[in-house]
Structure 1
Amino acid sequence: MSCASATLVVWTSGWLHGLAAADDVLDALHTWAEQHEVVADDDGTATALDLPGPDEAPVGPALLLAALRRAGATSARLALPIPGDVRGLGGKGPLSTCALRSGEALVIPSVHVGLVPKIVADGVMRWTVFDLPSSNGLEHIPIGEAEHGLGAALREATAALASLDVAKHRPNVRKEIADLAAANSALPWPAAMPPRALRVLQRAAEVDAILSVARSDAPGGAMSASAMSARTDALKPVSEAVRRARCAAIDEAVRVLADSGAGRH
């Protein structure tokens, strides 16, 4: 599934480069929750960006955008950490710990901050702003390489689905996958979003839908521990390809938006 951090990365980058209005950013966030709020994790970050600290009432995301503009933010990057890989999140610390728990984050190296979203109440998503000591290690993945890897992953996922015999136990599996993929890819993006990035995100949504169905299939709840372990091992490289592809597509979108914005000045 795509994530709120990807939405904020792309729309904020578009806004910073004059390709979107602040209201466009806020509207795009409504896909993930009716209400969004922002708070800094520590007093130092709060002071630096003029945002509320951990013991103060949160503010809306419009004030976050204003703070990033004042601080001189240029662009953002998506991080999708997993156990054993928290590159680009400044090493062990509050940001990487929280991002790992959430499975997502965005980092803004130019102002040394990272943000992690979390649903804190029904219809309310809170963005916590953390200090980012360093973004070293956040891998740049060429979109062509990610797209190729995703194609191979799609073949692996399809083969895994067949070997797990999912269709035999779930006769509507094709429709289930199609519905999941459509839901995962039905997100608003800026008009200047590059077609190649959109294509890779769409393909990632399709592969992720296959993964979701394959992971959830346990006919009669009788799958043995060894079979479950074999399934996890078979799907792990596919999941990694999806993660890499999403990061590469978002990176490409940010690059193109920055170039498009520069061409307008």
Structure 2
Amino acid sequence: MTTPRPALGTSLREQLWSPVQNSTLWLGWWLHGLLSADDVIDAFTEVQGPAHTLLVDVASGDPFDGEFAGRPTSLVDMLRAVRAVTADAPVSVSDRPLVGLVLAGPGDVPALPAGSRGAAAVAAAGAGITVADADPEVLHVLVPQLLDRSIVLWTWYRTEGRVPALAVYSPGDADRLLTEATEQAAGLIESDGLLPARHRAPRMAVGALSDYFGLPGLPVGVSPRAAKLMARADVVASIIEVTRTSEAGASLDPRILPLSRAVRTARTTAVDHAMRELLR
């Protein structure tokens, strides 16, 4: 089976905010028995689109012995597959969470085994959901691709080998990085003469984009510290977006793009923290 290539040229907006962040939490809440299957299916359709299909990348290793080959699949199949591979995975605060968020962007390679097809797919798409396995040397990753305005194709990759450890940030550390990024970004956007007149009211422009980045919501019970981190990341992402869409935007890339790393760090830290808090 030929695996579709992930969409190239992922926009900065998609790198700064991906619905995969929220979908990861909904999936994790379901795996831990806090939601029904209907709840998580409703959340996925609201967050990412009304129709979903699953494709297993057999070139990276098929953990399902061809079960999904050559037939239409759905979110139900994807949930069943996630449940199957995580069934015997260790579950404790010190273990890798059953699901996690993996992001990539300028200067940031995904935290997946180097050279794997899954790592290449996330690098191209910008985001994916990691799924744990009973074998600590195996990690699965689901990478979404929007085929049209209504169909999301999830490609399942199996990776094997040493998984790079996530950068260890506490929510407080990640929040500090975001605070520093916010101060830098706000200074850029509010500098006299930096932006054209239509962008001289950044609070209004940023507020409108924050509404975009912040929708839809999170499952009930997400750690307040994690939710705060994601909300702060939304604001910084919005500031970056407003700045880059101005006439001065392209010339500011060397100063603006490094701020996106703080956004990605905040999001992965928030999801990881939220998943571990479920076990405390």
Instruction: Give me the TM-score of the superposition, normalised by structure 2.
Output: 0.81
1:186 shift after superposition? 2.3
- Correspondent of 1:61 among 41, 57, 75: 75
Select which of 64, 68, 86 maps to 1:48. 64
- State yes or no: 1:37 paired with 2:53: yes
Among 246, 249, 254, the alignment partner of 2:270 is: 249
Deviation at 1:140, TM superposition (A): 3.4
Matched-pair contact (CA < 8 Å) for 1:90–1:132 = yes
Matched residue of 2:241: which SS?
A: helix
Structure 1 distance, partners of 2:222, 2:151, is 27
Deviation at 1:180, TM superposition (A): 0.6
Report 1:174-189 matches (<5 A): 174-189=203-218
In structure 1, what is the Cα distance between the partners aligned to 2:82 and 2:190? 48
> Alpha carbons of 1:33 and 1:49: their partners in 2 closer, same or farther (altered >3 Å)?
farther
State whether residues 210 and 238 of structure 2, in contact with CA within 8 Å, keep that contact through their aligned partners in structure 1. yes
Offset, 1:90:
1.4
Unaligned runs of 5+ in 1: 260-265
CA distance in structure 2 between the aligned counterparts of 1:50 and 1:12, rounded to whole angstroms: 23
Q: What's the offset of the Cα at 1:192?
A: 1.3
- Corresponding residue to 2:152 among 125, 138, 142: 125
The aligned runs of 1:43-192 (5 Å cut-off) are 45-48=61-64, 51-53=67-69, 56-71=70-85, 72=87, 75-110=98-133, 112-134=139-161, 135-163=163-191, 165-166=194-195, 168-192=197-221
User: Who is 2:31 aligned against?
Assistant: 16
In structure 2, how many angstroms separate the alpha carbons of the residues matched to 1:102 and 1:165? 31
CA contact (8 A) 1:166 1:173 kept: no
Mapped to 2, the partners of 1:214 and 1:83 lie a distance apart of 17
Q: 2:43 aligns with which of 19, 28, 37?
A: 28
Equivalent pair of 1:204/1:242 in contact (CA under 8 Å): yes
Q: Match for 1:195 among 218, 224, 231?
A: 224
| Letter in structure 2 aligned against 1:250 | V
Which structure dedicates a bigger proportion of its chain to helix? 1
Deviations 1:74-102 (A, max 9, x none): 61111111244324221113211111111
Q: 1: distance between equivalents of 2:24 and 2:77?
A: 16
Return the letter of the residue paired with 1:206: V
Cα deviation 1:109-166 (Å, max 9, x = unaligned): 3252111000012211111000111423333321110011111111100011123622
Distance 2:219 2:81 in 1: 22
Distance 1:107 1:49, change over 3 A: farther
| Distance verdict in 2 for CA 1:178–1:167, change over 3 Å | farther
Aligned to 2:6: none
Q: What SS does the corresponding residue of 1:253 show, helix, strand or coil?
A: helix
Rounded to whole Å, the distance in 1 between the matches of 2:278 and 2:65 is 25
Cα distance, 1:253 vs structure 2: 1.1
In structure 2, what is the Cα distance between the partners aligned to 1:167 and 1:252?
Answer: 40
> What is the alpha-carbon distance in structure 2 between the residues aligned to residue 14 and residue 144 of structure 1?
23
Gaps of 5+ in 2: 1-15, 92-97
C-alpha displacement of 1:187 = 2.0
* TM-superposed deviation, 1:170: 2.4
Name the % identity. Answer: 26
Distance in 1, Cα, partners of 2:54 & 2:41: 13
Q: TM-score, normalised on structure 1?
A: 0.85
Native 8 Å contact 1:88 1:139 kept in 2: no
